[in-house]
């Protein structure tokens, strides 16, 4: 399944990040807790050029808690504190502000010693589409400051937002990268709707998600769709889900579009369970396979 999606505004966003970098003190990189690796744009680290960074693992309430801890440990080994948050509920958001102050403390103190007037800490929030940037800003400000939506592409342009605690944030649209070298990365982004469904074959996408869940979360599938067992193949399991949910058209044929929408939406809403699609060990295994 070939997935590539790089609208023109994403190139503009990349240029915006580069052009405004000199104004920024710290970068907040927002990742999806269910796919911390796949939701990390590899271009970001190149663009920010060693600026202090705070990693935020959003949608932590939808992730497997044990696997979430693995990702926190993975970043801790690199000297980075990864903060799990739920931007909708607000859990963990205060820790982001605290960490931004921690990683910029030396710089701000040095400016004051040079006789510079104290100024707000300038934060840039970056992340792929639909990862929760606008919702995070709304929580940090305590008001509805930015336009939000449960689909990629809602945040259109640069926005400076003043926060309590002498902080300023620069919000940017979500940014992907032109070509996905790893098909699984592209699929994970599509599963979580970082890529618009409108540009995808959702029947095949749902089938690939079922295939993945049959391996990493078989019991979740059985419990959610009240199946005594899973099929021998992903297609058989998809058929069983369709029959259980009554997705049957005239002539007793299954409505695969309807089944696909059910499975994808229920995964995205967390109704199939708290599921993390990848763990740090996957990165090691990928390197071994490449060698």
Q: Which domains does the chain have, with CATH numbers?
A: 8-171 (3.40.50.300), 201-285 (1.10.1580.10)
Give the pair of three-digit tokens for residue 183.
């098909």
58 is in an annotated binding site: yes
Q: How far is CA 132 from CA 1, 76, 86, 252, in A?
A: 26, 23, 9, 41
157 is in an annotated binding site: no
- CA 279 remoteness from chain centre: 14
Give the pLDDT confidence score for residue 220 in this predicted structure. 97
188 is in an annotated binding site: no
102 is in an annotated binding site: no
Give the pLDDT confidence score for residue 129 in this predicted structure. 82
Q: Name 161's Cβ contacts closer than 8 Å, sequence gap at least 6.
A: 137, 140, 141, 145, 146, 168, 169, 170, 171
166 is in an annotated binding site: no
145 pLDDT above the threshold of 60: no
8 pLDDT above the threshold of 80: no
130 is in an annotated binding site: yes
Q: Return contacts of 137-140, CB within 8 angstroms, 24+ apart.
A: 137/161, 137/169, 137/171, 139/87, 139/90, 139/93, 140/93, 140/96, 140/97, 140/167, 140/169
What is the pLDDT confidence band of residue 149, given thresholds at 50, 70 and 90?
Answer: very low
Is residue 275 within 8 Å of residue 63, measured between CB atoms?
A: yes
Q: What is the pLDDT of residues 100-111, one digit of tens each?
A: 999 998 888 888
Report the C-alpha gap between 271 and 291 in whole angstroms. Answer: 38
Average pLDDT over the chain, rounded to an integer: 85
242 is in an annotated binding site: no
> Which letter does DSSP use for residue 58 in this model?
E
59 is in an annotated binding site: yes
Report the C-alpha gap between 254 and 238 in whole angstroms. Answer: 10
12 pLDDT above the threshold of 90: no
Give the pLDDT confidence score for residue 2 in this predicted structure. 61
Q: What is the pLDDT of residues 25-50, one digit of tens each?
A: 999 999 999 999 999 988 888 888 78
134 is in an annotated binding site: yes
| Cross-strand pairs, 184 | none
């Amino acid at each position: 399944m070939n997935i590539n999606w790089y609208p023109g505004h994403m190139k503009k966003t990349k240029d915006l990040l580069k052009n405004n970098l000199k104004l920024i003190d710290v970068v907040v990189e927002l990742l999806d807790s269910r796919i911390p690796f796949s939701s990390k744009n590899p271009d970001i680290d190149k663009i920010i050029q060693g600026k202090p960074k705070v990693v935020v693992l959003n949608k932590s309430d939808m992730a497997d808690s044990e696997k979430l801890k693995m990702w926190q440990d993975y970043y801790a080994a690199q000297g980075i504190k990864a903060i799990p948050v739920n931007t909708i509920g607000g859990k963990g958001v205060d820790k982001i502000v605290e960490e931004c102050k921690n990683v910029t403390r030396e710089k701000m103190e040095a400016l004051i010693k040079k006789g510079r007037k104290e100024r707000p800490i300038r934060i840039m929030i970056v992340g792929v589409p639909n990862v929760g940037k606008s919702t995070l800003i709304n929580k940090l400000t305590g008001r509805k400051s930015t336009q939000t939506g449960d689909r990629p592409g809602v945040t259109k342009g640069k926005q400076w937002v003043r926060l309590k605690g002498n902080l300023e944030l620069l919000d940017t649209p979500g940014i992907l990268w032109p070509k996905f070298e790893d098909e699984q990365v592209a699929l994970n982004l599509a599963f979580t709707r970082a890529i618009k469904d409108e540009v995808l074959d959702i029947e095949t996408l749902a089938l690939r998600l079922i295939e993945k869940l049959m391996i990493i979360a078989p019991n979740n599938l059985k419990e959610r769709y009240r199946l005594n067992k899973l099929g021998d193949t992903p297609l058989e399991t998809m058929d069983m889900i369709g029959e259980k949910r009554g997705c049957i058209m005239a002539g007793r044929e299954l409505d695969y579009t309807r089944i696909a929408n059910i499975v994808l939406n229920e995964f995205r809403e967390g109704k199939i369970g708290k599921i993390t699609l990848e763990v740090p060990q996957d990165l090691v295994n990928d390197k071994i396979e490449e060698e």
